[in-house]
Amino acid sequence: MRFLIAYFFLFLSGNILSQNIGVINDKDGYTNIRKESTVNSNIIGVILEGQTFQYSPSENKNWYKLNFNHLEGFIHSSRVSDIKSLGKSYKFSDNQIDKNLPKYEQPTIDSNRNKKFTRQIDGKPITYFLNHTSIDIYSKMYYQGIYQISDSEITFNLLDSVTTDNIDTRKFYLFNFSNILQESDGALSEAIGSYCLNYLKKYPLEVNLLKTKLYQDNSYEKFISFSAFEIYFSENPYEELDNLFNDIMYNYSEYEQELLFIKKDIFTILKTELKNN
């Protein structure tokens, strides 16, 4: 019996020691994780400089298969440095995701979900935000593809972040918010409308940013639909819509024409829903 236990631990330790552990080697400070071993495959996540991951050879010799915090995909071999080859002098960056990581129940990650990644936001490289000390770790994890949204307090906090007063980080939160708009379904889709309205009330002039090419093509339409859906369930939807924009225009009277277009878009969807139901 003691022999079997000893053999088991030798076998286990041998497997652990034989695993390839790598870090990225990329001048941009991050590398994309692809769904398949080709540059034309969908990006499903990113790895930052200093973050470690397990990797192994794939059928395509130019690509490695990797496992990074429950996220499985492919990374180009030219972007990988093995830990063993770096020696003891290698120093990890402070941005390792698994460093002091809060505990949460990791859902199954769907690599087919409709999500967008970007090289920069508002003229700043994406690594600026992913290393920003004022941005919470779950927002970074969501962007990187290693946290999946659900009907949970963590996700609701991600949504609430878009109304931050910090103008330096708000564009990053809005980018995440636009991706969540695409992915929301079930119970989460029923809750997201209130966060859309909160953002509209606080930063009405920024809503049109969702029309720009930085965000997915239908981000603005999704935002308008969720907003209309939330108003639909009020006691008097048309009155609720009028009161909402009266309050907004009181503070932004010089932008009345621009805001009326947003109101009209919400009204159009609201009218259709009320007519059909």
Q: Which residue has the tokens 């499985």?
A: 72
Separation of alpha carbons 148 and 143, rounded Å: 9
Flag whether pLDDT at 96 surpasses 80. no
Label residue 184 by pLDDT band (50, 70, 90). confident
The pLDDT score that the predictor gives to residue 7 is 44
Separation of alpha carbons 204 and 262, rounded Å: 9
pLDDT tens digit sequence for 103-150 = 444 444 454 555 789 999 999 999 999 999 999 999 999 999 988 888
Label residue 102 by pLDDT band (50, 70, 90). very low
Flag whether pLDDT at 182 surpasses 60. yes
Share of the chain above pLDDT 90, in %: 64
Which tokens go with 234?
């009020």
The pLDDT score that the predictor gives to residue 150 is 87
- Going by the DSSP 8-state scheme, the letter that residue 254 receives in this structure is G
pLDDT tens digit sequence for 240-265 = 999 999 999 999 999 999 999 999 99
3-state secondary structure of 233: coil
146 vs 87, higher pLDDT: 146
pTM of the model: 0.82
The pLDDT score that the predictor gives to residue 15 is 43
The pLDDT score that the predictor gives to residue 175 is 96
**Residue pair 35/48 in contact by the 8 Å Cβ criterion:** no
Flag whether pLDDT at 187 surpasses 80. yes
The pLDDT score that the predictor gives to residue 115 is 76
- Looking at every residue in the chain, the average pLDDT score rounds to 85
Share of the chain above pLDDT 70, in %: 83
Nearest to 177 by CA among 194, 201, 160: 160
pLDDT tens digit sequence for 9-45 = 444 444 444 468 899 989 999 999 999 999 999 999 9
Separation of alpha carbons 184 and 190, rounded Å: 9
Nearest to 63 by CA among 94, 40, 89: 40
Sheet strand arrangement including 30-34: 43-48, 30-34, 71-76, 63-68, 53-57, 20-24, 80-82
Label residue 186 by pLDDT band (50, 70, 90). confident
The pLDDT score that the predictor gives to residue 269 is 96
In order of their start, the domains of the chain are 1-93 (2.30.30.40), 102-277 (no CATH)
Label residue 210 by pLDDT band (50, 70, 90). very high
Upper half-sphere CA count for residue 92 (Cβ side, 13 Å) = 14
Residues paired with residue 71 on neighbouring β-strands, in sequence order: 68
